[in-house]
Amino acid sequence: MKQRRYVKSTRISHRLWFQLLLSSFAMIPATTHAQATEAMATGNDTLVFVSDTQAPLFVERLIHRTPFNRTATGLIFDDILRKQPQIVFLLGDVVAAGSKPARWTGVDHFLDSMRKDGSQVWACLGNHEYLYNARSGVNAFQKRFPQHNKTGYYIIKDSVAILLLNSNFSRLSTAEQEQQARFYTRTLAALDHNDSVKVIIVACHHAPYSNSKVVGSNLKVRTLFAAPFIKTAKGMLFLSGHSHNFEHFKTGGKTFLVIGGGGGIRQRLNTGAGRIECEDDDCHPAFHYLMVKRNADTLLVTCRALKDDLSGFGNILSFTVYAAQAPHQ
Tens-digit pLDDT profile for residues 277-297? 999 988 999 999 999 999 988
Mean pLDDT, the chain, rounded, equals 85
Higher-scoring residue by pLDDT: 45, 27: 45
Mean pLDDT value across residues 111-127: 94
Nearest residue to 208 (alpha-carbon basis) of 177, 165, 154, 173? 165
Mean pLDDT value across residues 245-273: 92
Laid out side by side, the sheet with 199-203 consists of: 153-157, 160-164, 199-203, 235-240, 254-259, 246-251
CATH number of 14-320: 3.60.21.10
Residues 297 and 315: their CA atoms lie apart, in Å, by: 22
User: Exposed, middle or buried by CB within 10 Å (0-12, 13-18, 19+), for 260?
Assistant: buried
Q: How far is Cα of residue 275 from the mean position of the Cα atoms in its chain?
A: 22
CB 251 within 8 A of CB 238: no
Confidence class of residue 62 from pLDDT cuts 50, 70 and 90? Answer: low
Three-state SS at 32: coil
pTM: 0.84
Tens-digit pLDDT profile for residues 301-325? 999 999 988 999 999 999 999 987 5
pLDDT given at position 12: 39
